[in-house]
Amino acid sequence: MLIEADLHCHSIASSHAYSTVKEMAEAAAEKGVKAFALTDHAPSMPDAPHVWHFHNLHVLPEEICGVRVLKGVEANIMSFDGNIDMTDFDLKDIEWVVASCHIPVIKPGTVEENTNAYINLIKNNRAVDAIGHCTTRNYPVDFEKIAGVCKEYNRFIEINESSLTYKPGSRENAFELLKICKKMETNIVVNTDAHYCSLIGKTTVSEELIKAVEFPEKLIFNADAERVIEYISGKRN
Structural domain boundaries of the chain?
5-236
DSSP 113: H
Name the pTM for this structure. 0.97
Per-residue pLDDT of the chain (237 residues; tens, 9 = 90+): 899 999 999 999 999 999 999 999 999 999 999 999 999 999 999 999 999 999 999 999 999 999 999 999 999 999 999 999 999 999 999 999 999 999 999 999 999 999 999 999 999 999 999 999 999 999 999 999 999 999 999 999 999 999 999 999 999 999 999 999 999 999 999 999 999 999 999 999 999 999 999 999 999 999 999 999 999 999 866
- pLDDT for 8: 98
> Dihedral angle at the C-alpha atoms of 183, 189, 194, 199, nearest 10 degrees?
80
CA distance 33 to 65: 11
User: 5-236 sits in which CATH class?
Assistant: alpha beta
CA distance 112 to 125: 20
Per the CB < 8 A criterion, the answer to whether 12 and 20 are in contact is yes
